[in-house]
Structure formats: structure tokens, C-alpha cells
Amino acid sequence: VATPANASKFNYVSLTDEGLTPLQIAQATYRDELFAEGILLTLGRAGLVGRSATFEKVALGVVHAAENAGRDYNATGVHFPPVIPRSLIEHTDYLRSFPDLLGSIHSFTGTERDQASAIRTLEEGGDWSAGNGWNSSDSVLLPASCYPLYIWSEGAVVPSGGNVFTLTGLCYRHEPSPDPARLRCFRQHEHVYLGSPDGAAAFAASWGDRALATLLSLGLPAERVVANDPFFGRMGKLMAAQQVEQALKHEIVIPITSDENPTACASVNRHLDHFSLPFSISCDGGNEAHTACVGFGIERITLALFKHHGFDVGAWPSKVRDILGLQ
């Protein structure tokens, strides 16, 4: 494993891990092992880490494997930035479902007087970006890879047979954690279907098997489970129960730091008309459109690979290296 040449000379900022549960201690232990190996690079804040060249090589291999798993769809590859218009929030029920996970971008639109006031607030140890000329901007951080696709597709008429897109988004979720598999910034590779309701259901059913097979082929102890999104608050509990009852979400889970609490490394999601309705996406002939997606968590799968095959990537099973496209 290639570690930064002078990693040992660096004075890593310690993260505060007081009051952790046994599960969190196991997570922090793996995180610290990754820091010590130079595979992850600490920035001194929970959930914000850098990555070594070795980590990145494996991560790009995981993107390659995820892309290949749906090669026969002849999907259109698209790329979107990690910052998207606030209209995502305005046109969906995101604020009802996951307000606590969102990153809202604020910018300085003030005068030199406001600037001086912000600097004074900073010097006094205060919150310089509250007031002082700082305001909500027209954008938020990307919460899930496929969201910009619906913004871009606003008003589109898609063939009933469906269009499939692939993309790798850099997502943000505000959930600082000692778990290296719960980063605030992470990549999600997705295959996304826009088309008829039946087509969307068939796409999801097919990917339930396929996503499991893909992760099993990487030598990972993967299992498929019915799952729910982490909806906020008491109302959220009802929404989660409904999602499970309708089996709209499946996850492929892999133990990373705990056998009892395996980590969701991929998910298959039926959105029904959750995105097609607010963004006016319809099928040929004015028929209703549905969307569905399969997402692979690139950093989580990479961490699972290091956990189950060890830190020496050169010594991984050759079949696994082949699937990752590593020489």
C-alpha cells in the first residue's frame, strides 16, 4: 500500500471519541487503523477525510465494476456537480423527509461594513456566517446522485420503453460520525430508469438480484434486505413503515465494523411518481412516468474491500482485481 511519503511525520489531529457506544468504538477503531495505514487522511473533523492514491485506485475500480454491472442497458453517461439548485427542495418533500441531512449553502452578499462585522464576530469567537451579510444562496449540496437528473429532465417526455442513465455523484449528508463508512461527502454510482411504471418496477426487480451478485463477485459477504430511508421525526417513522410495507427499497448490506449491524453498500429504490410528478416528466402519449434507481456506495464498498481482503491490494484475489479493472 502506497502511503503518503511523510505520513508518519504529520501531527494528526485527534478526534474526540468520548461517550461512544461499543458499535461506535468498533467503527472508530477501524477508522484509526485506516488513518495509521495512510489510507484515509484525517482533517480533524468527524466524517471529513482525505484519501490516499491507493484508496482512490480501488474506489475508481468500484465505479468501473458498478458501471460494468449494467453495461447491457446501453445507458447514457451524465455528470453533475455536487451543488444543485434549491428548486430540488422547493419541488419535492425533502424538507419533510430529511431536513437534518441537508447541507444548505449560504453566501456573503454584504458590504465592506458587513465584512468588518463578520471579521469582528470571528475574532470574538462568534458565529461569523450568521447575519453579517451572509444569506441563503439559491443552491444546496447534492443529497443523492440522481436528483439533478430530474431537475435537468424537467418537462421531458420519455419513451415508454424507458431511458437509462448512469452517473457518479458526490453527495453530502450532514451526519458527522466516527464511522469511516458514514462520511459526510461520498460518491454514489447510480443507474437510473425513467419510463413506464411497469418498466421501473422491472428495472428495480432486476437490479435487486444484479446488485447482490455484483458485490458477491467481489468476494464480499453481501446480503439483500428490505430497507427504509432515515426519515426525520415522528411522522418519519410512519413514512419508513409504509416504505417497508410496500418493499420500495432494498439494500445490499455487508459487515464492515460489525456483524450485527452490517453497512448498506448498495440500494435499489422504486420512486413511483415521487420525482416524475413534481418535475413533470411523462411518457410518450401523455402516459404516467415512474423512476427507479440502483445506487452503489463507492467509499463503503471500498472500505468493505479493505476490511475483507486486507490492506495489500496487490494480494487481493485475482478475480476481484479483474472485476475492479486493476492490473
Q: How far is CA 218 from CA 47, 184, 260, in A?
A: 26, 25, 21
Q: Give min distance, CB of 207 to a second copy, in A.
A: 20
Nearer to a second copy among residue 237 and residue 319 (C-beta): 237
Q: Give min distance, CB of 155 to a second copy, in A.
A: 3
Q: Give min distance, CB of 3 to a second copy, in A.
A: 9
- Scanning the structure block, which residue is given the C-alpha cell 477525510? 49
Instruction: Tell me how far apart the alpha carbons of residues 296 and 218 are, in angstroms, rounded to a whole number.
Output: 13
Query: Residue 210: which region, alpha, beta or left (left: phi > 0; alpha: psi -120 to 50)?
Result: alpha
Q: Give min distance, CB of 250 to a second copy, in A.
A: 28
Q: Give min distance, CB of 317 to a second copy, in A.
A: 25
Nearer to a second copy among residue 81 and residue 221 (C-beta): 81
Q: Give min distance, CB of 93 to a second copy, in A.
A: 9
Q: Which amino acid makes up residue 113? A: R
Angle (deg, nearest 10), helices 197-217 and 53-69: 130
Nearer to a second copy among residue 92 and residue 228 (C-beta): 92
Nearer to a second copy among residue 232 and residue 311 (C-beta): 232
Residues ≥6 apart with Cβ < 8 Å to 314: none
Cell numbers that stand for 39 in this block: 489510507
Residue 47: burial class (beta carbons within 10 Å; 0-12, 13-18, 19+): buried
Residues ≥6 apart with Cβ < 8 Å to 49: 40, 41, 42, 43, 180, 183
Nearer to a second copy among residue 93 and residue 223 (C-beta): 93
Nearer to a second copy among residue 215 and residue 289 (C-beta): 289
